[in-house]
Amino acid sequence: MTGAATGIGAAIVTLLAREGAHVLAVDIDGDALRHDLPGITNCVCDVTSAAQVEAMVQAVIDTHGRLDMLFNNAGVGALCDVAETDDDTWDKVFRVNITAVMYGCRAAVPHMRQAGGGAIVNTASISGMRGDYGYGPYNAAKGAVINYTRSLALDLGRDKIRVNALCPGFIANTRLTATLEKLPQRREWDESIPLGRAGTADEMAKVAAFLASDDASYVTGAILAADGGVTAHTGQVN
Ligand code: NAD
């Protein structure tokens, strides 16, 4: 489980541990990574390092002998004007949001194949389905997560490995949204959401846990928006 220190990842880790799973909680931020529930092992890892991701997967295999689920959830955003987009920003957004998803899948799939199946959940975003003002690199990277998820679902179906994407809408009080929370238009966004409010990390965790569970045994290649109805809207105002 990557991006596990805060926000949506922390909520997923907590939910899975409460349901009795053994979870490796992975994050680059060792100070914030402080899970103490039984069943959770904290692991500092930079998911943009292929070697560290391979070590993360190997640690699970060494300890438990198998890997049933992989959650590629780590993500970073960046607000930038197209004319001022520097290479470092573009590379970082792509490395964390999509290259790391490939690293995780590449490391985990051989073990899942050997075990006869598994479930992968990639955290994309409705920002991979639609555009946002000023978030081009993030939108592009999350779009890549969505279509990579579809391709993997095809490639891994016969291996009984299901691959799905969770697409959160606006989820309040995560590190990713901390700056946006303070903007004056914050209240207007809530009003523009059909359900009338931002979502919570706990709500995302329930959807992610469903996608990874046997309850979703016939679900693969799904791109599931959990967005309070935002992507149901054409954008036209009556
Ligand atoms: P968050 O910032 O609270 O969590 C992201 C975590 O990823 C952080 O703990 C961070 O330390 C970790 N991370 C960043 N770079 C890393 C790296 N190189 N290696 C390992 N860990 C790294 O934000 P969140 O809102 O919980 O976001 C979780 C996921 O949900 C992200 O993929 C994000 O793009 C996606 N998402 C969030 C929202 C939202 O509104 N919060 C909406 C749509 C999608």
Q: 213 is written with which tokens?
A: 């569970």
Supply φ then ψ for residue 180, to 5 degrees: -60, -35
> For residue 177, what pLDDT is reported?
86
> For residue 226, what pLDDT is reported?
98
In a domain, 77, yes or no: yes
The CATH number of the domain holding residue 76 is 3.40.50.720
* Residue 138 annotated in active site: yes
Cα→Cα distances 85→26, 92, 126, 137, Å: 29, 12, 22, 9
Q: Which atom of ligand 1 lies at the shortest distance from residue 29's CA?
A: 11
> For residue 181, what pLDDT is reported?
82
Q: Which amino acid is at 154?
A: L
CB 118 within 8 A of CB 104: no
| 3-state SS, residue 42 | strand
- Structural domain total, the chain: 1
Distance CA 73, CA 52 (A): 16
Question: Taking residues 212-216, what's their average pLDDT?
Answer: 98
Cα→Cα distances 168→88, 156, 172, Å: 26, 24, 11
CA of residue 237 to ligand 1 center, whole Å = 32
Distance CA 192, CA 228 (A): 10
Distance CA 73, CA 208 (A): 10
> For residue 173, what pLDDT is reported?
84
| Residue 194 burial (CB count, 10 A) | 12
In a domain, 121, yes or no: yes
In a domain, 2, yes or no: no
Report DSSP state, residue 177: G
In a domain, 1, yes or no: no
Reported confidence tier of residue 209, pLDDT bands at 50, 70, 90: very high
Distance CA 191, CA 200 (A): 16
Reported confidence tier of residue 52, pLDDT bands at 50, 70, 90: very high
Distance CA 190, CA 123 (A): 22
With a cut of 80, say whether residue 210 has pLDDT above it: yes
Structural domain of 79: 7-233
> For residue 190, what pLDDT is reported?
87
Cα→Cα distances 55→24, 43, 64, 104, 163, Å: 12, 10, 14, 10, 22
Residue for token digits 């880790």?
A: 13
Distance CA 89, CA 79 (A): 9
CA of residue 176 to ligand 1 center, whole Å = 6
* Average pLDDT value over all residues in the chain: 96
Q: What is the pLDDT of residues 164-198, one digit of tens each?
A: 999 999 999 889 888 888 888 888 888 999 999 99
Q: What is the pLDDT of residues 93-141, one digit of tens each?
A: 999 999 999 999 999 999 999 999 999 999 999 999 999 999 999 999 9
| 3-state SS, residue 3 | coil
- Pocket lining for ligand 1, CB < 6 angstroms: 2-3, 5-9, 27-29, 46-48, 73-76, 96, 123, 125, 168, 170-171, 174-177
Write the residue with the smallest CA distance to atom 1 of ligand 1.
175
Question: Does pTM surpass 0.95?
Answer: yes
Q: 122 is written with which tokens?
A: 């990639």
> For residue 158, what pLDDT is reported?
98
With a cut of 80, say whether residue 45 has pLDDT above it: yes
In a domain, 217, yes or no: yes
Q: Of 103, 133, 135, 138, which residue is the catalytic one? A: 138
In a domain, 57, yes or no: yes
> For residue 20, what pLDDT is reported?
97
Write the residue with the smallest CA distance to atom 37 of ligand 1.
168
